[in-house]
């Protein structure tokens, strides 16, 4: 008898675990998310190329899947604890390591959660964060229906935040340039370095607000155009330094801190004008995820 395929680690779905087999419902959820992402990218490309007949056809396919509402419900189902769960649990863990919490002397603050799917996730329960939630299509009361890219830049401290959470949102933006624009736009909502008193008096870097970024791990591990090092260079050029990083269950998590305002930092401290789409890895099995800053 040939060996069981279940014993071959390379044949398991990427979301499989040793303790829990992947259910048909979970597989269907993942299929909806993957298919919708693919159609969305093809739709954006068709519009860019002026092929509006194809764009209309692809829109019909997205509508047949249930549109954005079906995508969001599938994503919400994917937050179930048994499927790898709520990414904000990682954020809360990291914040506690950095001295945030409920007790005396602990730090507290405001969070803007972009792409919020639930008001019952861990970030909403921790008790030391005031959370503002927005999403393109609100799934429940307590989530403001709003396009983040159309949100006006903050002008006062009341409109700024200590933390911005961008969990599995950047990969939903259909174009590399659009992803770059989103990363640029985030700076408009975080408290600048001048809002805080640096805890390290000897440091020449003043510390501003935090960005919690979550992407599917293949976006940096198997992309033709983006590596972890490239992403870090892009983020440094936008004025961020890396605070925490983790990859687990095929999801990559980063915590970035906005640093000295008014500067753009490259890897060697030089100003970065733009980041183009350049091949970083070769091979036919690579995906085309990229971030472009223009």
Which residues make Cβ contacts (< 8 Å) with residue 92, sequence separation at least 6?
122, 123, 126
The predicted structure's pLDDT at residue 246: 97
Q: Among candidates 179, 258, 269, which has minimal Cα distance to 212?
A: 258
Radius of gyration of the chain, Cα coordinates, nearest whole angstrom = 20
Detail the residues annotated as belonging to a binding site for S-adenosyl-L-methionine: 115, 135
Residue 145 has a pLDDT of 94
Question: Residue ranges of the chain with pLDDT lower than 50?
Answer: 3-26, 74, 76-84, 198-200, 202-205, 262-263, 265-270
- Helix ranges, the chain (H): 24-48, 52-65, 67-78, 88-97, 122-125, 176-186, 218-221, 228-237
Q: Write down the pLDDT at residue 21.
A: 42
pLDDT at 67: 55
Name the nearest CA neighbour of 122 among 154, 153, 81, 82. Answer: 81
Q: How far apart are CA 54 and CA 32, in angstroms?
A: 20
- Model confidence, pTM: 0.72
User: Using one digit for the tens of pLDDT, what is the confidence trace for 251-285?
Assistant: 999 999 998 654 454 444 445 558 999 999 998 89
Q: Which residues carry a binding-site annotation?
A: 115, 135
How is residue 287 written in tokens? 């995906």
Q: What's residue 41's pLDDT? A: 66
Per-residue pLDDT at 154: 96
């Amino acid at each position: 008898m040939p060996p069981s395929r279940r014993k071959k680690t390379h044949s398991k779905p990427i979301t499989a675990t040793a303790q829990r087999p992947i259910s048909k419902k979970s597989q269907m959820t993942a299929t909806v998310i993957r298919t919708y992402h693919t159609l969305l990218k093809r739709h954006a490309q068709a519009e860019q190329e002026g092929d509006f007949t194809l764009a209309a056809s692809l829109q019909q396919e997205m509508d047949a899947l249930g549109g954005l509402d079906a995508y969001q419900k599938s994503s919400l189902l994917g937050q179930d604890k048994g499927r790898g769960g709520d990414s904000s649990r990682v954020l809360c863990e990291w914040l506690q390591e950095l001295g945030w919490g409920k007790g005396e002397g602990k730090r507290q603050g405001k969070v803007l959660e972009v792409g919020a799917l639930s008001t019952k996730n861990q970030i909403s329960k921790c008790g030391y964060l005031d959370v503002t939630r927005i999403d393109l299509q609100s799934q429940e009361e307590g989530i403001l229906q709003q396009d983040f890219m159309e949100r006006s830049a903050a002008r006062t401290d009341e409109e700024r935040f200590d933390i911005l959470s961008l969990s599995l949102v950047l990969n939903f933006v259909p174009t590399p340039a659009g992803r770059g624009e989103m990363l640029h736009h985030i700076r408009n909502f975080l408290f600048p370095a001048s809002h805080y008193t640096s805890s390290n008096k000897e440091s020449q870097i003043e510390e501003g607000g935090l960005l919690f970024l979550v992407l599917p791990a293949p976006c940096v591990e198997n992309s033709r155009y983006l590596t972890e090092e490239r992403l870090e260079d892009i983020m440094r050029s936008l004025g961020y330094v890396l605070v925490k990083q983790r990859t687990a269950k095929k999801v990559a998590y980063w915590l970035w801190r906005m640093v000295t305002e008014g500067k753009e930092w490259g890897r060697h401290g030089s100003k970065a004008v733009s980041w183009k789409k350049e091949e970083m890895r070769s091979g036919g099995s690579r995906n085309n995820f990229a971030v472009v800053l223009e």
